[in-house]
Chain A
Amino acid sequence: AQRVTQPEKLLSVFKGAPVELKCNYSYSGSPELFWYVQYSRQRLQLLLRHISRESIKGFTADLNKGETSFHLKKPFAQEEDSAMYYCALSPYNNNDMRFGAGTRLTVKP
Chain B
Amino acid sequence: ETGVTQSPTHLIKTRGQQVTLRCSSQSGHNTVSWYQQALGQGPQFIFQYYREEENGRGNFPPRFSGLQFPNYSSELNVNALELDDSALYLCASKGGGFDYGYTFGSGTRLTVV
Tell me which of B19-27, B63-71, B73-81, B97-105 binds A: B97-105
A48 to nearest B CB, angstroms?
Answer: 9
Asked whether any CB of chain B lies closer than 8 Å to the CB of A81, the reply is: no
By a CB distance below 8 angstroms, the chain B residues around A96 are: 33, 45, 48, 56, 58
Asked whether any CB of chain B lies closer than 8 Å to the CB of A70, the reply is: no
CA distance A52 to B100 in the complex (A): 10
CB within 8 Å for A46 and B102 given contacts A95-B33, A95-B55: yes
Bitwise, A33-46 to B at CB < 8 A (1) or not (0) is: 01010000001111
> Number of B residues contacting the other chain (C-beta, 8 Å)?
28
- A49–B99 CB distance below 8 A: yes
- A49–B107 CB distance below 8 A: no
By a CB distance below 8 angstroms, the chain A residues around B33 are: 95-97
Closest B residue, CB atoms, query A94: B98
Closest B residue, CB atoms, query A102: B42
Q: Which of A1-51 contact B (CB under 8 A)?
A: 4, 6, 32, 34, 36, 43-46, 49, 51
A-B contact count (CB 8 A): 63
By a CB distance below 8 angstroms, the chain B residues around A49 are: 99-101
Bitwise, B35-58 to A at CB < 8 A (1) or not (0) is: 100001111110010100001101
CA distance A99 to B33 in the complex (A): 13
- B107–A43 CB distance below 8 A: yes
By a CB distance below 8 angstroms, the chain B residues around A95 are: 31, 33, 48, 50, 55-56, 94, 98
By a CB distance below 8 angstroms, the chain B residues around A100 are: 42
B10 to nearest A CB, angstroms?
Answer: 15
- A43–B41 CB distance below 8 A: no
By a CB distance below 8 angstroms, the chain A residues around B105 are: 43
In the complex, 27 of the A-B residue pairs with CB atoms within 8 angstroms, ordered by the A residue number, are: A32-B99, A34-B101, A36-B101, A43-B104, A43-B105, A44-B43, A44-B104, A46-B101, A46-B102, A49-B99, A49-B100, A86-B43, A90-B98, A91-B98, A92-B98, A93-B98, A95-B31, A95-B48, A95-B94, A95-B98, A96-B33, A97-B102, A98-B45, A99-B42, A99-B43, A102-B41, A102-B42
